[in-house]
Amino acid sequence: MDGTRIVGVIKLYRGKYLVGESFSPDVRSWPSTENAFPSVAPEKELGIAQYVSMVRSAGKLAAEAYSVTAVDITGMKSDVLFGSIPEATKGVTASHIFSLMMSIEKNVAKYDIPVFGYCTDSAANSLGALEKLLLPNSYLQSLHIKYLVLPMPSFIYAAPILRKGYPTIAYPCWDHSSRTSVRNLLNSRISIIAENFNSASGITTAKIASVHDIRALKQMKPNASVKHADISPLIAQNCDATERVLNDKLIDELAKHVAGSEATQLYLQASVWILAPYRNSKYGQPEQVVQSIWAGLSTFRRWRQFIIASPALKLKNHFISRPHYVTLELLVHAAILHFLGLFLCFPEMDFHRYALRNTGNRSLEALHGTFRGGTCSLPINTPNLSFREFLDKMNEMVQLRLSMT
């Protein structure tokens, strides 16, 4: 099967079950008629195994997919949109993903769904699509679209207002960014200038933000707040590991016990300032959240300028990767636009109900793992399930996941 397809698999909203057709990466070939998302009769008792087999044999289902959540922002009902983008290893560009977002926009406008934005991972094409969404472009300008933005020079992204006053915000995955932040420490190459640029020798030394400082802490203090597995390059860091590494307690331990770990402390602190408001749904009032995330972004921006100004260091070799830096920029802008959008559209609603934590796909990763056959109290992979039973169980499982986040 063509591995470059972009596919809309299932759409569930207000009792409507829809199955989407596959789309070629050639945007010009995408269907524009309403029957692009044909309805599936709920009373049609078709085993899910037979149905998936039939769809795959017709080339209408991707082998790899991820799920996308859209929670009704009014709080009246939690609705779920299931979509799919295969592993975009070739052929799928930022323009294709952006066009998919615009296609979804038409559908949510049709059903009057108050979707506030889209969440993706930090792959280059995904980030490109988010940037394309948040930077004015000729397509949206031709439609006379207005944008939600803060009028300040350092605020570089804006949210287009596409439907009935609702902003469309680009949300990178904060959980994915947290794990990337920990992996960056394993590279041991994130540098910060320690001497003046105009040294007589022309060589500038640098202090390194590195996992070695944390390992030194574990040697001196075996009962430190992190575990050996959290900082092992051979183990994929999970959510719990990132919370132990990106933590104020660890920063205090480094400051107290590991001399010369200032660069690591600064890197961890800047990361915590940005990511903690996403992890903790009760972090504080919106102004406290904005103060924290903007402090973190300002730190990374200035750190980046130090690297650029140094004659001995290069961004490519001595700073976090460009995708990760862009993700941090987008996370900060998304948080501010998130609260601005809620205030403008729903000023009477409790902002805690729509915490930044709910904008990522952490719960969806677990959901998708269950969908692929993991252990769950609501098994959905039973071969003799009808298509309607399959969707009902999937909806129950999503409600369970949402209640646990």
Best CA proximity match to 11, nearest among 76, 98, 121, 108: 108
Classify residue 303: in a domain, yes or no: yes
Residue 303 and residue 188 share a domain: yes
Against a cut of 0.75, is the pTM above it?
no
Of 320, 352, 378, the one marking the end of a domain is 320
| Residue 82 bridge partners (DSSP) | 10
The pLDDT score that the predictor gives to residue 297 is: 95
Average of per-residue pLDDT values in the chain: 69
Q: Residue 119: is its pLDDT beyond 90?
A: no
CA-to-CA distance for 354 and 113, rounded, in angstroms?
Answer: 16
What secondary structure does DSSP assign to 339-399, as a single string? Answer: HHHHHHH-TTS-GGGG-GGGGSSHHHHHHHHHHTT---SS----TT-BHHHHHHHHHHHHH
What's the pLDDT tens digit per position in 309-320? Answer: 877 778 888 888
Classify residue 103: in a domain, yes or no: no
Query: What's the domain range around 263?
Result: 176-320
Tokens of 104: 């979804």
Residue 301 or residue 50, greater confidence = 301
Number of domains the chain is built from = 2
Asked if 287 and 312 touch (Cβ cutoff 8 Å), the reply is no
Residue 375 and residue 301 share a domain: no
Residue 387 and residue 269 share a domain: no
Asked if 184 and 319 touch (Cβ cutoff 8 Å), the reply is no
Residue 315 and residue 182 share a domain: yes
Residue 309 and residue 183 share a domain: yes
The pLDDT score that the predictor gives to residue 300 is: 94
Classify residue 149: in a domain, yes or no: no
Best CA proximity match to 175, nearest among 358, 396, 384: 358
Q: What is the dihedral of CA 241, 247, 253, 255, to 10 degrees?
A: 130
Tokens of 247: 């933590």
CA-to-CA distance for 172 and 326, rounded, in angstroms?
Answer: 10
Of 320, 341, 375, the one marking the end of a domain is 320
Residue 280 and residue 203 share a domain: yes
Q: Residue 98: is its pLDDT beyond 50?
A: yes
The pLDDT score that the predictor gives to residue 162 is: 82
The pLDDT score that the predictor gives to residue 398 is: 56
Residue 371 and residue 272 share a domain: no
Kind and range of the H or E element at 235? none
Report the percentage of the chain scoring pLDDT > 90. 13
Classify residue 133: in a domain, yes or no: no
Classify residue 65: in a domain, yes or no: yes
Classify residue 330: in a domain, yes or no: no
Q: Residue 91: is its pLDDT beyond 80?
A: no
Q: Residue 382: is its pLDDT beyond 70?
A: no
Classify residue 295: in a domain, yes or no: yes
Residue 389 and residue 314 share a domain: no
Give the distance from CA 320 to its chain's centroid.
17
Residue 209 and residue 291 share a domain: yes
What secondary structure does DSSP assign to 21-88, as a single string? Answer: PEE-S-GGGS--SGGGS-B--TT---BHHHHHHHHHHTT-S-SS---B----TTSS---EEEEE----
Residue 382 and residue 314 share a domain: no
Residue 398 and residue 294 share a domain: no
Cβ-in-10-Å burial (0-12, 13-18, 19+) of 188 comes to: middle
Classify residue 40: in a domain, yes or no: yes
Residue 182 and residue 85 share a domain: no
Top mean pLDDT of 17-31, 88-102, 218-232, 320-334 is at 320-334
